[in-house]
Amino acid sequence: MAERKENERVEQRRDLLAWFDLQQRDLPWRRSRDPYRVWVSEIMLQQTRVETARPYFERFIRAFPSVEDLASAEVEAVLSQWSGLGYYQRARRLHAAARQIVAGSARFPASVEEWLQLPGVGPYTAAAIASIVLGVPEPAIDGNVMRVVGRLLALEEDPRKTSGHRAIQSEARHLLDLQRPGDSNQALMEIGATICLPRRPRCSLCPLEPGCGAAAAGDPELYPVAGRRPPVSRHFRQVAVVESRGRVLLFRRPGNSPRMAGLWEFPWMDGRARGKLESALGQRYGGRWKIGSTRGRVRHSVTNRSFQIEVFEASSSFESEVAEGPEAGWFSSSDLTGLPVTGLVGKVLKLLED
């Protein structure tokens, strides 16, 4: 029985790599095994789809072609290149890690354990980088791999719980080709992203389909059995747009803000009480505010929070010139190109253009 199982795994490893060699997407970070490029890509791909990350990666590498360039840059310049990608702590930690690497004679980590010492690098990211760059046979378990391997096993428990995760990690380790562990990991991720989808998986195209327990059961979507996701919380937010001479008024979040620290944004308040918006903005941002007509609404999501944003025209006056303040300023559309702004800024500006 054990010998037959191992023979099946040998075939799976072979089929997996053969499929990957023919079907892998042409992604800019796959064109070399340069540790810097692989590392930047893996940080960007945390909680971000490949299609979204690709242009940001290319722009980021043009701006900071080496770890030394990244380490010597100011954090605001790094945030500017990250602007719109979201989850900005990733950029801050990437920058801090670059400085840590350069401080250590610009030597990149040489093991999974060393990668884990860098800010922003967790078990999945460390395993992915080490397997791709160093050839370390360590399974990289992300959401896609959990789904692929969980279905392969027809796993009837939550893969995020200890026993379920151990089962997936063990099977994923068996699927690694010791000569090409990085390609094995990427192949599993690729299958999860392009074939073994959460809904309507394309089983007939999957190289693992012959030995897949979920496919044999007839309803792959039932596997792996997942725990309950946290409910999406819905919020209402009001945004004030002050325009003057082709420029808009933005404020910068404090550096110690728990979310999106240091990024520029339109002035806003939570809630629906339009009558209280003027005084609330005055208390938060200073000055005197007058709210005008509604320009429309946009939707914006952050993790499990969904925002309905109502955008108002507004005017404001301050005792001193706002543009001279360290946390507020007037910006034209060309100024925004190099400014670290929140993703919501782009959505509001597009609404104003329509």
Name 297's bridge partners.
Answer: 310
Question: What gap in Å lies between CA 65 and CA 43, rounded to an integer?
Answer: 16
Question: What gap in Å lies between CA 326 and CA 80, rounded to an integer?
Answer: 17
Which residues, 6+ apart, have CB-to-CB distance to 68 below 8 Å? 102, 106
Question: What gap in Å lies between CA 92 and CA 97, rounded to an integer?
Answer: 9
3, 42, 114, 138: the catalytic one is 42
Other beta carbons within 10 angstroms of residue 342's beta carbon come to: 23
Question: What gap in Å lies between CA 328 and CA 331, rounded to an integer?
Answer: 10
Catalytic site includes residue 42: yes
The two structure tokens encoding residue 315: 């005017």
In angstroms, the Cα distances linking 167 to 152, 154, 213, 310 are: 11, 11, 14, 47
Question: What gap in Å lies between CA 135 and CA 125, rounded to an integer?
Answer: 14
Question: Rounded to 5 degrees, what are φ and ψ at 162?
Answer: -55, -50
- Catalytic residue numbers read 42
